[in-house]
Structure 1
Amino acid sequence: MFGQLDALLSDLYRKGYIIVSFSQRGWGDSEGNIMVMNSYHETRDAQAVIDWIARQGQRGQLPIAVDSLGNFTLGLMGGSYGGGFQLPLAAIDPRVDTIVPVGTWHSLEQAILPNGGVKGGWGNLLCLLSTGRSRHPFLENACLALTAPFIRRADVLEPSGNLLDFVRQNGLSLLADLELAQAPFLEGMEPFTLRPIDALLIQGTRDVLFNMQASVDNYRYLKMAGGDVRMMTNQSGHMNPLANQADGSTSCGAVDMFSSIRRWLDVKLRGAADSVLDEVPEICLSLDDERSVIVDAIPGESETSDQHMAVDKVWRPFDIRIGNLRGAQECQTVYEVPADTTQVLAGIPRLRDFTVQGGIIGGGGAAYLGLCLKRGGQTLLIDDMLTTFAPQFQSFSELVGVGEVLKAGDRVGVMAFKAQEQMNFLTTATLGQVTELLVDTIIPGAGLDETLLGDLLNPIQGILSAVNGNAYTVRGEVRLPIFATDLVSYRVGSEPPFSRNDGPFNQYRLQ
């Protein structure tokens, strides 16, 4: 998906768009320390690029119309890291007319440290990619702690500052928090209020780094501000080869991603008729490479919209015990699709009365949870989506959003893991490593105690965790966003009914 965006930029250039790209700080020839799209640093850098474009236009060195205030027609587009700067930039700079962030985050904290866990595989990769470049000192220490958690050095284990404070400045979530607290973006400013922003949000349903939840959170916040905000998902994004993931279609059923972007930019930047956007739905949720569901609200978001779409409203209990002698994973089914019926599972699974309890002997009790599907003797983790829930994080209300076609006889449930590839940092410790750690008597990192990272660096806790194998109990009720297939769209050549198409799973089979 991300590589194809480059081809799209070339196409836009041939059609007369002026394309300006730049290297973020610490990358390419740009100076400064990498801070992972910090709203007070990289975002301000991007404002300087906008200033430069305006000056070039005023001097006649770029063929753009710039008014006396330095305003000109401006849109932003990019994926992953190139999507991360767009949201806060558009929020604080009214010169931005529209944005198209693809496969990016809402909260970097929730993306990398979900609910107190550590998404170690991706954290390690991001640190590896920035090795040898100029990183902020705290980021440098955090990467050392991630990639070599048992190095016994005070400067690694006691980095200055706070990891959570650092990542909380990276994303639209910072602005949402400021607005909620009625606080300014910068000292001396008025309390921050998000302005209306026209945005086309594109996310991969099976993206295990920046999942659909990030797009949903961005959609929620931007929609409240009153802009024209639309969202579509697909089967592409950041894939995890350790889970045998393969990149999928960039379309959302019959809705082509690249055609939608072209239409969006033509209307928002070139003044094309609004009717050009008739084929860009409010919300399109991908179900597989061929099919999607088109809706006006995200299923699972509101009782009113759920009632309109006839979304299942039953709360179903679950009680799962993991670790010790109880197994490494369990899919506890809570729903079975009736005979001669085909349904859709798409949107946000809701939780209530949800608790996580760690094992009696040590162990952080980090629950790795997602939705599972049993079909024909096989079990899959739906869309490869899971997140972490640590006992000290008690404000739980959602699982990660998914999109899947359900057939008669399918059984859907909650799945829990003792360990999982996406969170592999939490399981890297061997008993020998932890014993060596205990002998050397290190001190856990200051500022990391709010996450499981702090527990892992604690020698006593670490050795007990290694023995205990992350035992935990998780209980609660789940409401699944299940509804009829009436709203499903199809790519050309894909024909209903679903019940006649046994197609292969597009996720990694667990059993």
Structure 2
Amino acid sequence: MTVVPFSKLLLVALLGATLGLSACGSDDTPAGVAGPNNPTNPNEEVEQAVVVLVNANNPDFEGAPRDFTAPACSASSEEPREGGGIYSVNLQSASGHNIAFTVFEPAEFNCERGNPLVLEGHGYGGSRASSPRGIMGDLIEAGAGVISIDQRGFGESGGSVRVMDPDFEGQDLLQILDWAEANLDWLRYASSPKPAGNREFNMVAGATGGSYGGGYQLLIHNIDPLKRLDALTPDIAWNDLRYSLNPGGAYGIENFEPAEGNIKPTGTVKSGWALLLVAGGESGSLSPKLQAGDPMALQTSGQDNLIRETLLRGATANRFPEGALEFFRYHSPSYWCDSEAAGAQTFLQSEVTPGLAQKTPDPVDILFTQGFRDTLFNFNDAFHNFSCYRALEDDKGKKGDVRLLTHQSGHILPLSPSMVPGLADLTEQGAQNGLNEIEFQKPGGPFACGALSIPEAQFAFLVEKLFTPQEAAAIKNASESNAFTTLAANKGKVCLSLNDDVGQGTASENAAVWVNENTFFSNLGPQAKGQPTNSNTQPVAIDFTPGADPLNVLTSAVTGILRYPFAPAVMPIDLPAGVNVVAGIPTATFEIAAPVDMLMNPLCSQIYSATAMSPIGLAGLEPGCDPMLFVGLGVNRNGAWRLIDDQVTPIRGFGKRHVELTGVAERLAEGETLGLLVYGYHPKYLATASRDLVTPLVALRGTLNLPTLQNLMP
């Protein structure tokens, strides 16, 4: 390491004190004068000014041997070499497998204050970037370096895919950060209350990516003892993989006990997405190794055998085993956010012992973005992540700057009549004659919240958090984007995308609304998991009891599948005058009942017990015990009912239970009607349906709480 004279460090410290750095514990405005010298507030405790310096001059590593890779600032800080280089790195992980990533150097090195680092991650089944993609190019030009990562098992990284396991993927990711600190002399460091242990400075780093590339960001922050990430921008990420892959259970609730007269709800396997993820995960992991001629690829890569076991047992038994659900929870932010105690991760092959105990994460700046049309990681995932990380405080009571923007894209099941010539016209004609549109979901819409582009918002957020105020101002002035001013003007608000221009690439006018965070949490979603939404409107009574109207008879099992091509059962909902927007998470108390008491098997509890003891359940055969329905809010537009944002929520089993429906956002035009749509089968749950052949008809009763807004003009 280069030994830095004290006089130079003092000069750097004085320079850093005048700059400040919003990402590392300082306020957006310069610190004032402390104590009694401040006449407006003599008791004010003012944070120390932030010192910014380059890694090559970081005194924390004095005496520690470091052999910088491709040094830029070590030899001569006055004349750094040219930036913009790209090179790949391979490390051996603690589990003995390769970790592959690519370093994209900043366009220009700053050997006085260093350059921020941003991690970039791919989606499930993907691989690292070989050239700048997404916002990487803008970040590099602005002065940040980027490391694009092949996550464990994907691309050129080895090992089996365990889906962001803290003990495997998590440790690999921390090893990449360790490598960066030891090998990149141009990294930016700053002093602040954030450094852990005996460090005076901590690296200035952010992260970006969507889906699987969003999940890794939260994982790093949750487990890194050095707290090295300052700003995260996860798009379409999960909160609890149990909910994402098996919705309907009582997840994230401490010491859950059903209310009197209620049942413990059971999850439903989201088989449409499960099948797609299996195919994408196996292909994305195995293909690069097989193409490279790796003779051990089939033994060492692909999805982990524990995940394969889970999917096989889920398909056979029509439900995921409890031990596997706990395994997936350990790989989720909910493990760190929720007070629910961790359960045993038990498999047929072994029992997995987690390496990390639950703890509350530290506060951090995060821009969450989520698509309302996303049917894998939906709006509820973002809502609960936003709620968790927004509330975190450090030991001085300081919180992170946590935001939420929504859009009309995300995980879209890529199967639609429009993909087959002529079939779209046929299904449209069928819909006009009372038939249902047979498709997984409609194409995604704009990757924007109103006029605010999501990528531009992510770039602006990272710039604000990782660069000094002076640098950020210069980057903003050189940009034509409205994201900098829009984010600044709407701090403390959530952007809800109301756009319904399906399949169009740009947002239309008046396609979003900014809602104050207090209103958002008070009226547009549950106060906590398992609690109702405090609606501005009266609860809506729901009653689908078999009666005179044959179109509203609820079918399950085989009859539900046969019924699907026809229009769903619908209950129109009258909204109060002036209420024309549904936006947020509806909640309900729903009871599935047999239309005739004798249709309900009195031996259900014994059958459930036998199912739990069997490694493959009872092949899903639970006669008279296991009805399934799929419910969602819909709108009658141009004479036909259609689901809002293509979202349905499964309800399973006889009895009464609390239900958190999937969040949606829609502005109703003049003459349009809101309704509750109920299906006995839905293709998003492709291979999942009730196998209870004794119960072809059921009743649904209860109350529904709607998240609504008033008088939003078209």
- Alignment TM-score, normalising by the size of structure 2: 0.55
| Post-superposition offset of 1:46 | 1.2
2:361 is matched with 194
* Counterpart check, 1:386 vs 2:622: no
1:116-160 per-residue CA deviation (whole Å, 9 max, x = no partner) reads 0011011001111122443222112223445xx45xxxxx99999
In structure 2, the CA distance between the partners of 1:305 and 1:395, relative to structure 1 (3 Å rule), is closer
Alignment of 1:33-52 (within 5 A): 33-52=160-179
| Post-superposition offset of 1:302 | 1.9
1:433 is matched with none
1:263 is matched with 460
RMSD of aligned residue pairs (Cα, Å): 3.5
Equivalenced residue count is 433
The whole-number CA distance in structure 2 between the counterparts of 1:476 and 1:83 is 36
Classify the secondary structure of the residue corresponding to 1:425. coil
Greater relative contact order: 1 or 2 (C-alpha under 8 angstroms, separation 6 or more)? 1
Q: Which amino acid aligns with 2:220?
A: L
The question of whether the paired residues in 1 share the 8 Å contact of 2:579 and 2:710 is answered with yes
The whole-number CA distance in structure 2 between the counterparts of 1:295 and 1:159 is 37
Classify the secondary structure of the residue corresponding to 2:449. coil
1:77 is matched with 208
Q: Which amino acid aligns with 2:327?
A: F
1:74-130 per-residue CA deviation (whole Å, 9 max, x = no partner) reads 111110111111113212321111110001110111001001001101100111112
The whole-number CA distance in structure 2 between the counterparts of 1:285 and 1:159 is 33
The question of whether the paired residues in 1 share the 8 Å contact of 2:543 and 2:700 is answered with yes
* Counterpart check, 1:103 vs 2:236: yes
In structure 2, the CA distance between the partners of 1:78 and 1:393, relative to structure 1 (3 Å rule), is farther
2:540 is matched with 316
Q: Tell me which of 300, 306, 327 is aligned to 1:166.
A: 327
| Post-superposition offset of 1:344 | 1.5
Alignment of 1:19-418 (within 5 A): 19-57=146-184, 60=185, 62-65=186-189, 69=199, 71-93=202-224, 94-115=227-248, 116-131=267-282, 132=286, 133-145=301-313, 149=315, 162-177=323-338, 179=339, 181=341, 192-225=359-392, 226-240=399-413, 241=415, 242-272=439-469, 277-279=487-489, 281=491, 282-288=493-499, 289-290=507-508, 291-297=511-517, 301-302=521-522, 312-320=536-544, 322-323=554-555, 328=564, 329-336=568-575, 338=577, 343-351=580-588, 353-357=589-593, 360=600, 362=624, 364-391=626-653, 396-418=658-680
| Post-superposition offset of 1:191 | 6.3
**Unaligned stretches of 5+ residues in structure 2:** 1-121, 192-197, 249-266, 287-300, 344-352, 393-398, 416-438, 474-483, 500-506, 527-533, 545-552, 601-622
* Counterpart check, 1:483 vs 2:709: yes
The whole-number CA distance in structure 1 between the counterparts of 2:554 and 2:660 is 20
State the identity %: 27
| Post-superposition offset of 1:44 | 2.3
The question of whether the paired residues in 1 share the 8 Å contact of 2:524 and 2:708 is answered with no
The question of whether the paired residues in 2 share the 8 Å contact of 1:336 and 1:409 is answered with no
| Post-superposition offset of 1:298 | 7.2
The whole-number CA distance in structure 1 between the counterparts of 2:672 and 2:319 is 49
1:470-492 per-residue CA deviation (whole Å, 9 max, x = no partner) reads x4332211122222244xxxxxx
1:442 is matched with none
The whole-number CA distance in structure 2 between the counterparts of 1:157 and 1:381 is 25
In structure 2, the CA distance between the partners of 1:160 and 1:121, relative to structure 1 (3 Å rule), is closer
The question of whether the paired residues in 2 share the 8 Å contact of 1:100 and 1:200 is answered with yes
The whole-number CA distance in structure 2 between the counterparts of 1:368 and 1:158 is 16
1:291-330 per-residue CA deviation (whole Å, 9 max, x = no partner) reads 0110112767425999xxx963211110225116795531
| Post-superposition offset of 1:363 | 5.7
Task: Pick the structure with greater CA Rg.
Answer: 2
Q: Which amino acid aligns with 1:15?
A: A
In structure 2, the CA distance between the partners of 1:111 and 1:182, relative to structure 1 (3 Å rule), is closer
Alignment of 1:387-466 (within 5 A): 387-391=649-653, 396-427=658-689, 462=691, 464-465=692-693
In structure 2, the CA distance between the partners of 1:345 and 1:39, relative to structure 1 (3 Å rule), is same
The whole-number CA distance in structure 2 between the counterparts of 1:138 and 1:182 is 18
The question of whether the paired residues in 1 share the 8 Å contact of 2:581 and 2:708 is answered with yes
Q: Which amino acid aligns with 2:407?
A: N
The whole-number CA distance in structure 2 between the counterparts of 1:236 and 1:254 is 15
| Post-superposition offset of 1:248 | 0.9
The whole-number CA distance in structure 1 between the counterparts of 2:342 and 2:360 is 8
The whole-number CA distance in structure 2 between the counterparts of 1:239 and 1:157 is 23
In structure 2, the CA distance between the partners of 1:206 and 1:188, relative to structure 1 (3 Å rule), is closer
| Post-superposition offset of 1:175 | 0.8
In structure 2, the CA distance between the partners of 1:39 and 1:368, relative to structure 1 (3 Å rule), is farther
Q: Which amino acid aligns with 1:355?
A: E
In structure 2, the CA distance between the partners of 1:143 and 1:182, relative to structure 1 (3 Å rule), is closer
Structure 1 stretches of 4+ with a deviation exceeding 6 A read: 1-5, 156-161, 186-191
The whole-number CA distance in structure 1 between the counterparts of 2:678 and 2:633 is 9
Classify the secondary structure of the residue corresponding to 1:34. coil
The whole-number CA distance in structure 2 between the counterparts of 1:191 and 1:109 is 17
1:449 is matched with none
In structure 2, the CA distance between the partners of 1:378 and 1:169, relative to structure 1 (3 Å rule), is same
The whole-number CA distance in structure 2 between the counterparts of 1:395 and 1:474 is 11
The question of whether the paired residues in 2 share the 8 Å contact of 1:383 and 1:402 is answered with yes
Deviates more, 1:136-145 or 1:357-366: 357-366
In structure 2, the CA distance between the partners of 1:160 and 1:187, relative to structure 1 (3 Å rule), is closer
The question of whether the paired residues in 1 share the 8 Å contact of 2:210 and 2:237 is answered with yes
In structure 2, the CA distance between the partners of 1:415 and 1:158, relative to structure 1 (3 Å rule), is closer
1:443 is matched with none
In structure 2, the CA distance between the partners of 1:25 and 1:426, relative to structure 1 (3 Å rule), is same
The question of whether the paired residues in 2 share the 8 Å contact of 1:207 and 1:238 is answered with yes
In structure 2, the CA distance between the partners of 1:162 and 1:262, relative to structure 1 (3 Å rule), is same
| Post-superposition offset of 1:468 | 4.5
| Post-superposition offset of 1:64 | 4.0
In structure 2, the CA distance between the partners of 1:279 and 1:8, relative to structure 1 (3 Å rule), is farther
The question of whether the paired residues in 1 share the 8 Å contact of 2:539 and 2:703 is answered with yes
**Unaligned stretches of 5+ residues in structure 1:** 151-155, 428-455, 457-461, 487-496, 499-511
Q: Which amino acid aligns with 2:272?
A: G
